[in-house]
Structure 1
Amino acid sequence: MTNKVLNALANNSALLKWIVFLLAAFGFVWSMQLFIAGNAYYSVKNSIEVWQLSPDKASTQKVNSALDKIDNALNYFPNNALFYQIQGQLFEWKAITEANTKNTDSPTTDLTNKVFNLQEAAKSYEKSLKLRPNWSGSWIGLASVKRQQGELDDEFYSYLESANRAGPQDAILHKFIVDFGLQVFSARSFHYVKIKERLKHHLNLGIENPLSRDFVLKTIQKHNANEAVCRWLRDASYPVKKRIPNCITYN
């Protein structure tokens, strides 16, 4: 074998080693980015779940910290629909926490901040839906923004319908319908008439689903609706009814 052939083989071997090295380096960097982004997502998701059960534990400082984590995750994966969906939830929580600590010197500033945060939330949900149109959480997010804006119009109900088509069994849908439905029921709002059948349906599914059960049961307690819910779910299964206080008697 001539020196020319040997040199060519050596060069090819060196090139192959460099390709393998670069692929390994790329894989390592990608894995690290995925690890960091995944940790950020689950950390923020856990925080939101805690705030949903105990809203007093949320604060603007905590929300801003969570937004920084999701922003970092989106820097690595800018086409992730789930990250945009949870970013939208954080902007909604920021609107809530800032409203709870109003700037009494400037109510105009308070209103401006709320409008801005809700607009940012809607933008995040819309980005999520562009990437994944059949994501129930983002449709619920748009409905939630309308609710915070006090706009319970046809568009609001169309978002609920889209969420139901996308994920009829999703915990986030059960939570929202139960929270909204029991609020308008307690307030004796005419919106209860529009939501009552969905409310009964998602109360049942929400208690069945372990991912929404605690939230649903706590919401029932918050509105002192045990008796009404028990009546609505008279045809539900025993495991569902037994979780509602005083719904099952043995007399």
Structure 2
Amino acid sequence: MTTESSRSNKSSRRRKPGPLGKSLAVAGILLLTVMAYFSVRWMMADINSYPARNALINLQELDADAPIPVEKLERAQKAIDRAIEWRADHGDYYDIKAGLSYSQALHAQQEKRFRDYGKLMNQSLDLYRQASQLRPHWPYSWAGLALAKAKLSQMDEELNQAIDNSVLYGPWENTVNISISEAGLISWQYLPEAQQQAVLANIDRGLKRNFKEIRNIAAQLNQTVLLCEQLQESKEKAKLCKS
């Protein structure tokens, strides 16, 4: 009897956790619930971002003179807006949306819809600002910000800082090399010497991996002679200045 009673008491104690055990169990359930909530939100954000991300990649692969499918852009914009609704703290989504707005701005410029161009380019600029604030070490956002500002003729300290951050965090990134080359050559005469030197160093690196793109940018902006005068001697410079 005594043994059976003892076993019963022990079993009873195991089945009834104390206050600390109950608190830990509740905390664990709450933690799992919170984790599940954010996991679902992040998953839904990623799912919605895919169409916009793919649309942006496809747009970047189009020839400069190719018509941009407006309907596809609109669907992509709606998709990335939904992604931001699910996760408003993810800089990548703002970066994607900024790129879509930038592409739409260039299309408006081609069609001589200059009011739309200004609106869309300013929208792209604002989105690149948000993206760079959320991910301050991400060079692509800074490069996009610099290029948007140069396109809008906003030659100021923010542009200088965007150039500096781009070449600091992404010195060998192809997209950064190309965007900063264009932004720097557009705004060259307004840049302080420090930023001019940063742009030249960026172009020197870019010519090694993106020669065709940077050569075309310099030609379109009538800045090839400037580069031939300012760049350090290299086989890439010799090739550029012969072409």
Asked whether 1:50 is paired with 2:61, we answer yes
Residues 201-221 of structure 1, C-alpha deviation per residue, up to 9 Å, x if partnerless? 122211334xx5553243245
Structure 1 CA distance for aligned equivalents of residues 86 and 45 of structure 2: 8
Counterpart mapping for 1:48-87 below 5 A: 48-51=59-62, 54=64, 56-58=66-68, 60-87=70-97
% identity of equivalent residues: 18
Taking structure 2 as the reference length, the TM-score comes to 0.65
Kindly indicate whether the alpha-carbon contact (under 8 Å) linking 1:177 and 1:198 is maintained by their aligned counterparts in 2. no
Quick check: 2:102–2:120 contact (8 Å CA) kept in 1?
yes
Q: Is the 8 A contact 2:150 2:186 kept in 1?
A: no
Gaps of 5+ in 1: 9-18, 104-109
Alpha-carbon distance in 1 for matches of 2:67, 2:225: 29
State the shift of 1:227 in Å. Answer: 7.0
d(CA) in 2 for partners of 1:31, 1:145: 29
Q: Does the 8 Å CA contact 1:41/1:73 hold for their aligned counterparts? A: no
- Runs of 4+ off more than 6 Å: 25-32, 224-228
- String of CA shifts for 1:33-77, please: whole Å, max 9, x gaps: 4663463354133134225x6254436444333323322333443
> Are the structure 2 counterparts of residues 245 and 45 from structure 1 closer, same or farther at C-alpha, using a change threshold of 3 Å?
farther
In structure 1, the residue corresponding to 2:88 is in which secondary structure? coil
Deviation per CA, 1:2-51: give whole Å up to 9, x if none. xxx9xx9xxxxxxxxxx9xx9xx989967964663463354133134225
User: How many pairs are equivalent?
Assistant: 224
Q: Where does 1:1-251 land on structure 2 (aligned, <5 Å)?
A: 33=44, 36-37=47-48, 39-51=50-62, 54=64, 56-58=66-68, 60-102=70-112, 111=115, 113-183=116-186, 190-191=189-190, 194=193, 196-209=196-209, 212-220=210-218, 222=220, 229=227, 235-236=233-234, 240=236, 244=240, 246=242
Query: Is the CA contact 2:146–2:159 (under 8 Å) kept in the aligned structure 1?
Result: yes
Distance (whole Å) between structure 2 residues aligned to residue 127 and residue 197 of structure 1: 27
Question: Against the structure 1 CA distance between its residues 227 and 181, is the aligned structure 2 distance closer, same or farther, given a 3 Å change threshold?
Answer: same
Structure with greater Cα Rg: 2
Closer, same or farther in 2 for the Cα pair 1:94/1:192, shift >3 Å?
A: same
Task: Compare 71-80 and 27-36 and name the one that shifted more.
Answer: 27-36
Shift of 1:81: 0.6
The structure-2 alpha-carbon separation of the partners of 1:205 and 1:58, relative to structure 1 and needing over 3 Å to count, comes to farther
Q: Please give the alpha-carbon distance, in whole angstroms, between the structure 1 residues aligned to 2:171 and 2:124.
A: 23
